[in-house]
Chains A and B, each alone.
Chain A
Amino acid sequence: MTTLVFDGLDLIGENTYDGETFLLEAEGDDFTWGNPSPINTVLTAMLTDGALVYTQGYDNREAYFRVKVTGTTAGELQAGESALMASCGKRTTIEWTPPGNFAKTTVFKVQTATLEHAFDDLDELNFVRTYGMRIVASPYTRSVDLVTLTAEPAAGAPYSETLIDQITSVTAWTASGTKTAHGDGQAVRSTDGPYGPFNEYDVWLQRSGSVTISASTPYILVRGTASFIATYTLTVDGVDYEPANTIGNFRWFLVPAGTYSTIRVTAHHDPVAAPGRPVIADATLTLWSLYQTSDPGLGTRRELAHTFPTIYGSVRAPGDLTISHDSNGLGDVLAYTYPTGLGDYSPPLSLHRTAGGSITADTTAVSGGKEPINGVPTTWTVPAIALPDGGYHIVMRMQHTTAAGTYAVTFTADVGGTTITRTVNVTIDGVATWQFVSLGTEHLPPLRLLDGSAKDITITLSSSVANLRLDTGWLFLADEYDRRTSLVQVEAGAAQQITYRIADVDFPADVVYLDDYAAGANLKAAETPHLAPPSANVYMVTTGTEDATVEFNYYPHWHTHAGL
């Protein structure tokens, strides 16, 4: 049954206002919900025919319909007008259930509404007045009910891991294609093909040698990646296993305890419709190490990476992000949301570390250890598929062991013989106190790589300062507009909860709260968290505590008709 409720007023039924009862009837004749109107920038192209049109976003929609007020007295008619006016000129909602029993109720986010008079002398004689209702609403609609997504830390702490193979020798390995040692003898690679996106194929690497998987470390962690978008299978003595979790190029497979003789990692490519001009290239699978671990997640539990497999809606949804711990202060917090479909991209550089200074254990470090950067530069070897091209905000977590001050650190990125060098003076505020430092925004990779490239991008961080220590670093893909990423950085200190409340009809701007007060000067970066259908990722660091949880509360958003 059709229902239409505007700011609590039933627009298809009886209402009471100021003690008077009257009938409101929205009329369907010239009813329109309007449309999200695209904000386009038109650039006249010099070298091609036509103009280039770029949609920056969508502007509000304008709805219009007429409402008939029917009463039996002048007072009732007047109460109808007063009731309608009381709901105009403010941010509120209008809820609509379309005709038919199958459709879901849709909520329009009203920015403002105005009432328009329409005179009809015959109506007036019959105690009927008709008004036009003009509504300016946000471009997209939403569902009635909030959806809550929660990412819990990996269970079973404390975390432990045991090395199976660091792959400094490729002797134990066989390959589906050409087998080579890779990355200065730190990895093994199989090269097959060439293939195009329309081909179905497998690339695999198999290790022969006895391995005992214990019940306390039942996950095999495979660090490595294919040069193409793949689904991964681990085959242990002929039995196939699917990944229990994937973070960037780390994949965990749950394997029953036992002693096994072969481990095969297979990257499978499903044929896809070629996008534009298909690239035909060699297909590679590169493996850097095998571990067995207690949990299918990152070891130190001060960071959390999670994929929400289902995001409802037909357009991206902004939502409230809550990070909390029951008993501990959160410390410095980074929270980042980003869409799926970016290959093996994940923000933490620690997934790719291949060289650096001697690591000293540090339980306050996000990575679990710290290293100097004045000798061997800390080096991360990032496969092309884990570094989609674009601007990246570079964040490091550093300290100086003896003195606050300003110190020069140098970031480099290299591929194909082209190096980007970025030297930044970072200000360290305390002595032997960890802090996030921003190295600004840099475009990576240094050279755009063709789809399917098997190249690695070598990223380093170094400094001439002996007492600087690095915990780890992050590359946050910076793209509020096109790829819908968002980065939030808060110094939460002893607060046990951070809530990022997005603008809504109650308050027209985003506010971040620590426990129950606004973060104020403790907020260092804020972009509205968005999760885009069909699935999305969240990544979080809480330096103050292990095992914080993250919660995302959102209304599924739709073009016009809610489906949920």
Chain B
Amino acid sequence: MFLTVDSRPVSEIGGWTITERTANLQGPEDLTWQMQPGPPDPLLKPGASVVLRDGSTVVWTGVLTRPVRGTGEFKAKGHATRAYSVPALDGAGAVTLNLDTAIDAAISRGALDWIRRTSIATAGVSSDSTTIDGVPTIGQLLDAAADETSQWWRVTPGRVVELYSKPTTPKWFVTGEAGTIDIVEGDYASRLYGRRRTNTAGVYATEHIDDTAAEAALGYSEATVDLTPLGYLTAGKAQSILTGMLAKGRARPSFANSVRGTRWQILTIGQVPAHLAAVEPGDLARFIVQHDETRLLQGRGYIDELIGRVIHTDPGVVEIQPDNLTRGADWRDAIAYMASKKGRKRR
């Protein structure tokens, strides 16, 4: 591993060791490393660009957020995490729901150290940029745009923002020796109700979408989501978002646990032992599950699931969380969930 801060090798300052590295479906997430405690160093300043390479491959990029030289602990955040604090404004500073415009303006302002190569979305999920409460963040708009198209969004280790779909063929095979994942109800819903704002001030409407295949396999269950923070939505847009949410995970049960494994337990689907640093969220992995879940799996003892988060703490071992990990199984998700709820209390 090779760590640089603002392009300078950290080893030129002193010894370092990575204590935790995580990535989630939105790309690099957290990086923590330890150095010898000492006086502040001008290179290791908040806001500096952090790049971690494995050989010639960049595996983690982000921004140095907490350089605590006094204790020798340094924390950096992935570039995607900034999306939720950067407002969606155009070049003139006016609210825009055109994601391409908002991202380009944020890059131009220096708020996001991203690269946009392809169009994310030019039409906002809502056409309502003037009466919307507050200024939406780029993260909110990306979430909505991704849900609307049943995709996910990420900022790659190469800093490129993109939408992506679930791969159709698994890349990894997580052997039973690494552990099986258990299926729990979690936030499963076969019917999703969504509350939306109409184009008449103060008037709301409710849409719903059913996943009949999920209902046939797993039974009927319903849940509600609040779409009002997205501003005025047409019924069609609301339904698209609900469909995307169901497809991306709500219409499937959740998983109770993650698995930890070595390179001999996490293999490629071609049975080549994994180079663990190259296991990434957004890849599809084949997990072994409890064998009696016949309704969902129709007799299979495995499930092909997106890798939702990868956690590296010790060399030689990696923790892999399936997407749809039940809430509370990981504290990061719990904190993110509570943070997202806070914003919605405004109404």
User: Which residues on A are within 8 Å of B, measured CB to CB?
Assistant: 39, 41, 43-48, 52, 54, 56-57, 389-391, 393, 395, 406, 418, 420, 425, 436, 438, 440-448, 476, 478-482, 487, 489, 503, 508-512, 518-521, 523-527
The answer to whether A481 and B270 touch across the interface, beta carbons within 8 angstroms, is no
Contacts A406-B117, A527-B1; is A443 near B12 (CB within 8 Å)? no
Contacts A446-B270, A527-B1; is A43 near B56 (CB within 8 Å)? no
Q: Which residues of A contact B315 (CB under 8 A)?
A: 56-57, 480-481
Complex Cα distance, B267 from A446, in Å, reads 11
Q: Which residues of A contact B275 (CB under 8 A)?
A: 390-391, 441, 443, 478-479
The answer to whether B8 and A480 touch across the interface, beta carbons within 8 angstroms, is no
Q: Which residues of A contact B10 (CB under 8 A)?
A: 509
The answer to whether B316 and A54 touch across the interface, beta carbons within 8 angstroms, is yes
Question: Which of B228-236, B247-255, B258-266 faces chain A?
Answer: B258-266
Contacts A46-B177, A527-B1; is A445 near B57 (CB within 8 Å)? no
Complex Cα distance, B260 from A480, in Å, reads 19
Query: Min CB distance, B116 to chain A, in Å?
Result: 12
Contacts A54-B262, A489-B56; is A508 near B14 (CB within 8 Å)? yes
| Nearest neighbor of B3 in chain A, beta-carbon distance | A526
What are 10 A-B interface contacts by the 8 Å CB criterion?
A43-B178, A46-B176, A57-B315, A390-B275, A440-B57, A446-B268, A476-B56, A481-B316, A508-B36, A525-B53
The answer to whether A45 and B57 touch across the interface, beta carbons within 8 angstroms, is no
Contacts A46-B179, A524-B56; is A443 near B314 (CB within 8 Å)? no
Interface centre among B178, B273, B275 (most CB of A within 10 A): B275
Q: Which residues of B contact A447 (CB under 8 A)?
A: 270-272
The answer to whether A43 and B260 touch across the interface, beta carbons within 8 angstroms, is yes
| Nearest neighbor of B176 in chain A, beta-carbon distance | A47
Q: Which residues of B contact A393 (CB under 8 A)?
A: 54-57
> Contacts A46-B177, A391-B275, A525-B53 given; 13 further ones with Cβ under 8 A?
A43-B317, A48-B177, A54-B317, A389-B272, A391-B277, A438-B58, A446-B270, A448-B270, A509-B13, A509-B16, A521-B4, A521-B7, A526-B2
What total count of A-B pairs have CB within 8 Å?
146
Interface centre among B2, B4, B260, B314 (most CB of A within 10 A): B2
Complex Cα distance, B8 from A512, in Å, reads 11
| Nearest neighbor of A57 in chain B, beta-carbon distance | B315
The answer, among B36, B178, B264, B278, for a CB contact under 8 Å with A391, is B278
The answer, among A418, A443, A444, for a CB contact under 8 Å with B274, is A443
Residues B1-44 near A (CB distance < 8 A): 1-2, 4, 7-16, 36
The answer to whether B140 has its CB under 8 Å from any CB of chain A is no
The answer, among B56, B278, B316, for a CB contact under 8 Å with A56, is B316
Q: Give the 7 A-B residue pairs with the shortest CB-CB distance, closest first.
A: A391-B275, A521-B7, A448-B271, A509-B11, A393-B55, A508-B15, A447-B270
The answer to whether B160 has its CB under 8 Å from any CB of chain A is yes
Contacts A391-B275, A508-B36, A525-B2; is A425 near B117 (CB within 8 Å)? yes
Q: Which residues of A contact B58 (CB under 8 A)?
A: 438
| Nearest neighbor of B317 in chain A, beta-carbon distance | A41
Q: Which residues of B contact A395 (CB under 8 A)?
A: 56
The answer, among B14, B160, B263, B314, for a CB contact under 8 Å with A482, is B263
Complex Cα distance, B296 from A14, in Å, reads 80
| Nearest neighbor of B178 in chain A, beta-carbon distance | A43
The answer to whether B129 has its CB under 8 Å from any CB of chain A is no
The answer to whether A521 and B8 touch across the interface, beta carbons within 8 angstroms, is yes
Query: Min CB distance, A109 to chain B, in Å?
Result: 13
The answer to whether B180 has its CB under 8 Å from any CB of chain A is yes
Complex Cα distance, B12 from A512, in Å, reads 8
The answer, among A420, A478, A509, for a CB contact under 8 Å with B15, is A509
Q: Which residues of B contact A521 (CB under 8 A)?
A: 4, 7-8
Contacts A478-B54, A526-B9; is A41 near B262 (CB within 8 Å)? yes
